[in-house]
Amino acid sequence: DGGITQSPKYLFRKEGQNVTLSCEQNLNHDAMYWYRQDPGQGLRLIYYSQIVNDFQKGDIAEGYSVSREKKESFPLTVTSAQKNPTAFYLCASRVGQGWYNEQFFGPGTRLTVL
């Protein structure tokens, strides 16, 4: 089936540790995005990538890092520098070339820092 997969579904981390969240898509979409959702809030953009080997900071990039070595993969690392990492993380990809085209989301990863 075509779609966006994220793993793991749940992740627990001790303070001071880095952790990497996986996002894979087989939709042949060029652009991919990472969002963060806090309880009772909408989504905020962390990083985005339009093409392989290129990515840009979103609104809340501090304490996060990404890579885009393959078109289908866009992993997110939550570093120990992120002050409040406990949140729900959603990956998305965009159909077509236009900035304004429809975005689709993966099922998300819930990260809890102990």
Partner 1 sequence: GIQVEQSPPDLILQEGANSTLRCNFSDSVNNLQWFHQNPWGQLINLFYIPSGTKQNGRLSATTVATERYSLLYISSSQTTDSGVYFCAVVGSGGSNYKLTFGKGTLLTVNP
Contact 55, 34 (CB under 8 A): no
Residue 9 CB, nearest distance to partner 1 (Å)?
A: 9
Indicate the residue among 17 and 96 with the shorter CB distance to partner 1: 96
Residue 100 CB, nearest distance to partner 1 (Å)?
A: 3
Residue 102 CB, nearest distance to partner 1 (Å)?
A: 4
Indicate the residue among 36 and 113 with the shorter CB distance to partner 1: 36
Pairing of strands 19-25, 76-78: antiparallel
User: Where does this chain bind partner 1 (CB under 8 A)?
Assistant: 33, 37, 40-45, 48, 56, 58-59, 88, 90, 92, 98-105, 107-108, 110
CA distance 113 to 85: 7
Q: Which residues contact 105 (CB under 8 A, 6 or more apart)?
A: 4, 90, 91, 92
